[in-house]
Structure 1
């Protein structure tokens, strides 16, 4: 749970439950698993490990009240330590029902639901989804061309207020095909002792495609061993900081 999140592209993070299973190259050096294992003695990662529901479900209502009072909209990255559309059997149906109820009650927050499993989204949407909730943005992770080609067409076919891509960690070049249904692309390099270096040309190529297709472009970070190294590199791309948001 993080109020005033350190993740540059969101205001808050909220985890309804914790735990996941690695499914693609972006997961190889999973920061969420490493982070959780530092603080929890309970294994929640992998296909055989049960996910656990969190207890701090009151925070989003607090954030919503503050946003309403200030007359602003705040973004909530939902499930930084899980995947909302994970179909693991330990995730009780009531957990998702409670999450959708919470989202409906917090209309002054824009919920960013990011998944590596867009093929599961339709199965787990609420009964009243129709053309999408006005305060929910659906997103998928894209680390290379293979996952772009696999995930983005699925995401594009699902009704949503906005759709976004998190290209973090970006580990290969990506060419956008039929990107007209994507509103926002976040790009970032990998961090950690086993980081895979990001190529500036990959980032430039995506930035240029975003300009051509009127997609908001957000560059989060380069790649490096730790936060100190990342801060030293800064966030500039060709002398500019890209903080675009829809």
Structure 2
């Protein structure tokens, strides 16, 4: 396709509108808020600030990609709203209805619908449903009503929607992953970027039937539950992990990424390591505070100073450390322990329900 993207895990991005509100620690250094389109159009970030809907030419793009994918017999992964959040409370319901109808009418595209507000899913879709039920003039009214009712009812989630949630630390994982698992979807995934702390996905326990127990990644059944063999319960189907980039980027510790890699491997879940960001393990270049000796990774604050003593003087460590050092995004790359991790889930058979 002509519209490529630098994002490693999708083929194209589509922004139905631009603008958002920071809702968690992962948003502190939001790349979208300082992106060129946002600065050029003077869009303000925050609650109550107007979002900017993109033009008709942009909205035509997915229709063109859909025809191309059908002609070639392939599927394109489209990341929706890289400069926004499709479940944002401040988006007009009519805009969301138009987006959902676009998803419905492009069955040859796999839509990667990612949100920091996954708990808004049912309320926002019900608002769309109510709005189009009350408006006979909506041209796609009948088809979208049936599509939405099937999804909200839990019986017919769209087969071209990969539903994702952003999780950057353990508290967010414990809060939002159960919400994602309770939302009807044919494929569920996590964007753990920027990863800001260790996350144990196996600590998120779930029991939905006698004899069946599991966690966010994997389900198990006890030996005496033979009559329920073959039943599948919701679990996360794909994990993306990455560090932060930009001038105020916070470091990602390699042990955090390794732990998630190993959790995915044990549960046979595809794992994609997107990038280290500005910081990466540099055993020969690790730095410590020149005043108190604390390692830079453990103590550096947002101003580049040692959080323990306030010094801004850093020096090469006396001994090699498995400690992130600021080396820049390009040099940091995306190899984890010398290997590229670039796995994808097997998508369900194409076509929207």
Shift of 1:3: 1.7
Report whether the alignment pairs 1:157 with 2:165: no
Q: Post-superposition shift, 1:38?
A: 2.7
* 1:51 match: 51
| 1:180-225 deviation digits (Å, cap 9, x = unpaired) | 3100000000001100000000000000000111211000000218
Of residues 208, 211, 215, the one that matches 2:262 is: 208
Distance 1:48 1:92, change over 3 A: closer
Residues 198 and 222 in structure 1, CA contact (< 8 A), matched pair in contact too: yes
Residue 119 of structure 2 is matched in structure 1 by 119
Is 2:69 aligned against 1:82? Answer: no
1:229: how far off?
Answer: 2.4
Shift of 1:173: 0.4
Q: Where has structure 1 moved over 3 Å in runs of 4 or more?
A: none
- In structure 1, C-alpha distance between the alignment counterparts of 2:121 and 2:92, rounded to whole Å: 16
| Post-superposition offset of 1:96 | 1.1
Instruction: Tell whether the 8 Å contact from 2:113 to 2:161 is kept in structure 1 after alignment.
Output: yes
Superposition map of 1:107-186 within 5 A: 107-125=107-125, 126-129=148-151, 130=154, 131-176=156-201, 177=204, 178-179=215-216, 180=218, 181-186=235-240
Distance across 1 between alignment mates of 2:77 and 2:241: 18
8 A contact 2:277–2:333 mirrored in 1: no
- Which structure 1 segments of 5+ residues have no match? none
Offset, 1:48: 2.7
User: How far apart in 1 are the matches of 2:44 and 2:333?
Assistant: 33
How many angstroms does 1:118 deviate by? 0.9
> CA deviation digits over 1:147-189, x for unaligned, max 9?
0011100000011010000000001000002123100000000
Q: Which runs of 5+ in 2 are unaligned?
A: 126-147, 205-214, 219-234, 280-326, 346-353
> What is aligned with 2:39?
38
Distance in 2 (CA, whole Å) between partners of 1:3 and 1:145 is 35
Contact kept? 2:241, 2:273, Cα under 8 Å = yes
Q: How many pairs are equivalent?
A: 240
Do 1:140 and 1:164's aligned partners in 2 also have CA atoms closer than 8 Å? yes
Instruction: Kindly report the root-mean-square deviation, in angstroms, between the aligned alpha carbons of the 2 structures.
Output: 1.4
- Return the TM-score normalized by structure 2: 0.66
Whether the 8 Å CA contact 1:44–1:52 is kept in 2: the answer is: no
Distance in 2 (CA, whole Å) between partners of 1:44 and 1:11 is: 28
* TM-score (norm: length of structure 1): 0.94
1:58 Cα deviation from its structure 2 partner: 0.1
Which one has the largest radius of gyration?
A: 2
